[in-house]
Amino acid sequence: MCVTNNALKHLHKRLDTKNMKRTLFFITSLLFVFTSCDPAEWLHGSNETWFFKNTTDVVLKVYHSNMDLQTIAPGDSICILRKEKLEGNGAPVFDDFAPIDSIFVVTADGISVSEWVRSQSEGYDRNIYSESEWECHITEVNGPDDYSWTFSFANEDMIYYDPAKIIGKWAESYEKYPDFNMDAAVYHSFKENAAYNIDVYDSEGGVLKNEQQYTYSEGIITVYSFSGDDKYAIVKLSDNEMEWQKIGTDFSEGTIGTDYKHFVRTDPTTQPYASHFIHDGYKVMYGEYEVSSVICFQEEMPEHLIEPATEKIPESRLLQDGSKLTINQDMTYSLKESDVVVSSGRYEVGIYDAVPDEWLCYYHPGPCSFMGYLVLIDNNGDRRSFQMQVSAHEDKTKSYGIPWAYQRFQITEGDVSYHYGIRYGLIYCE
């Protein structure tokens, strides 16, 4: 058989083509086998997306422990968390929301309308950390399903701060901003009748009082003064802490004390476990005090007047030596004599607007506060009023001062009046 060169070439070409087809078929078969045998989750990981939906009629801003502030228009949603599970990490579960330990919702003006803290979640009427409050939508794909969770926030979910929480006395405090220094102590007192007082104490003990009015509505407090009306959003209000941000402004450290204000409560009534209160910078302990006294006369008082003055004192003295005065955290008191309660009711303490001229005549050991007042108001409405100062404790091991309550008397001879009184030492019973 005779085969030409051209025929041989044609034969080789046919064989090469056939082999190539076989090779391609083999490779394709292998790919089919591999993809058929591998689990689906190896090809596609599950996506899990968490949406916060604004169904209110106002613009909201949301932020949480792992996300900066984001704005949501009415009817819109934002993604607040996204997770992806790959290659057999398991199906999405609600516990994947656990990394978010706190969530806060405010209005466009910065007014707080809702907040959730995981450690306090049991106390919420509607708890974002409860799976039942979320809608879960599952999208079927080639492999594990995709999950989307949606929390719908409605008008009825907006909670404004209780105005009753504002009532009381607050001190401006900026300890968490160490670069900001106040040159005065500023106290704000809010009353139920919308009266609002500001007391400013300078470094020399002088005080400036300012009486104003305020209103509160839906998270905004408006302060009325002679210089105009100022509106602030209350961005935080707890039992012992309050923060304001002036409407139309954003926080910056350059506006601390003006556009931004931070307060801590000073009312003893809101600190049931406090051990003391501060009187003009001196620590006064709650609890029981034993009364001791010293009669004090002016140096220039004539000796022939001292005896009748001394006789007058026992008839009018408000406290007896050895009696026990108890002042409580809830602003109530009791007075015992020989372990028998002879008086009880409520008390008031404070600092005078101006220091009485005669205070230098009073005996006191060491440095002391400016003169203030202590008023005992019994259950019948009768008042026992004292001038009060607190001196530095001579015992350096003590962390508190000694209150001195002064009962003042006056005696007149001719046109001259002489002052004298009883200095009650209130010795703390530890």
φ/ψ of residue 401, rounded to 5: -100, 175
**Residue 318 contacts residue 386 (beta carbons within 8 Å):** yes
CA distance 209 to 225: 13
In the structure encoding, which two tokens stand for residue 194, read together? 């919308």
> What kind of architecture, by CATH, is found in domain 163-266?
Beta Barrel (2.40)
Taking residue 375's Cβ as centre, other Cβ atoms within 10 Å add up to 14
Give kind and range of the element (H or E) at residue 198.
strand 195-202
Q: How far is CA 267 from CA 41, 190, 236, in A?
A: 61, 11, 18
What are the structural domain ranges in the chain? Answer: 42-157, 163-266, 276-428
pLDDT attached to residue 108: 81
CA distance 201 to 279: 12
**pLDDT tens, the chain, 430 aa long:** 344 444 434 434 444 545 554 554 454 544 444 443 344 444 456 778 999 999 988 889 999 988 888 999 999 999 999 887 665 556 677 888 888 888 999 888 777 888 888 887 776 778 899 889 999 888 776 556 788 899 999 888 887 777 888 888 888 888 788 788 777 778 888 888 788 888 887 655 556 778 889 998 878 899 987 777 899 988 888 777 888 989 888 888 889 989 999 998 875 444 444 577 777 777 888 899 999 998 888 878 888 898 888 888 888 889 999 999 999 877 789 999 999 999 999 888 877 655 444 444 344 555 677 677 888 999 988 999 898 888 877 777 888 888 888 888 888 888 888 888 898 989 999 8
pLDDT attached to residue 343: 94
